[in-house]
Amino acid sequence: MKLRRIVIFTTVCLFSLGFLVSPALAFKVGAVFSVTGRTSFLGDPEKKTAVMVAEQINAAGGINGEKLELIVYDSEGDATKANLAVKKLITQDKVSVVIGPSLSGTSMAVVPLAAKYKTPLISCAASYKITWDKEKGTARKWVFKTPQTDTMAVDAIYSALKQKGISKIAIMSVTSGFGASGRGELIRLAPEYGMTIMADEKYGPKDTDMTVQLTKIKGLAPKAIVNWSVGPTQVVVLRNWRDLGMKSIPFYQSHGFGSRKNIELAAGAAEGVFCPLGAVNIAELLTPYDTQYAVAQRYLKDYKAKYNEPLSSFGGHAWDALHMAAQALASVGDDKAKIRDYLENNIKGFVGQHGVFFYSPDDHIGLDKAAFRMVVVRDGDWALAD
Return d(Cα 359, Cα 219) in angstroms, integer: 46
Minimum CB separation from other proteins for residue 230, in Å?
Answer: 11
Distance CA(44)–CA(34), nearest Å, equals 7
DSSP state of 149: P
Cis omega (within 30 of 0) on the bond before 101? Answer: yes
The answer to whether 219 contacts other proteins (rule: CB under 8 A) is yes
A 10 A CB-CB count for 173 gives 24
DSSP at 148: P
Kindly write out the interface string for residues 149-178 of this chain, putting x where it contacts other proteins by CB under 8 A and - elsewhere.
--------------------------x---
Q: Report if residue 202 touches other proteins, rule: CB under 8 A.
A: yes
Min dist CB 201 to other proteins, Å, is 5
Stretch that binds other proteins, among 5-13, 72-80, 243-251, 323-331 (CB under 8 A): 243-251
Binding segment toward other proteins, per CB under 8 A, in 7-15, 99-107, 123-131, 196-204: 196-204
Nearer to other proteins, 92 or 248 (CB): 248
Residues 47/31, Cβ–Cβ less than 8 Å: yes
CB 238 within 8 A of CB 264: no
Judged by CB under 8 A, does residue 212 bind other proteins?
yes
38 interacts with other proteins by CB under 8 A: yes
Comparison of 91 and 215: residue with beta carbon closer to other proteins:
215
Asked if 213 is part of the footprint of other proteins (rule: CB under 8 A), the reply reads yes
Per CB under 8 A, the list member of 92, 248, 287, 308 interacting with other proteins is: 248
CA distance 356 to 344: 14
Does the protein bind other proteins through residue 312 (CB under 8 A)?
no
> What residues contact residue 34 under an 8 Å CB cut-off, 6+ apart?
40, 42, 43, 74, 75, 76, 77, 78, 82, 101, 102, 103, 106
Per CB under 8 A, does 295 bind other proteins?
no
| 231 near other proteins (CB under 8 A) | yes
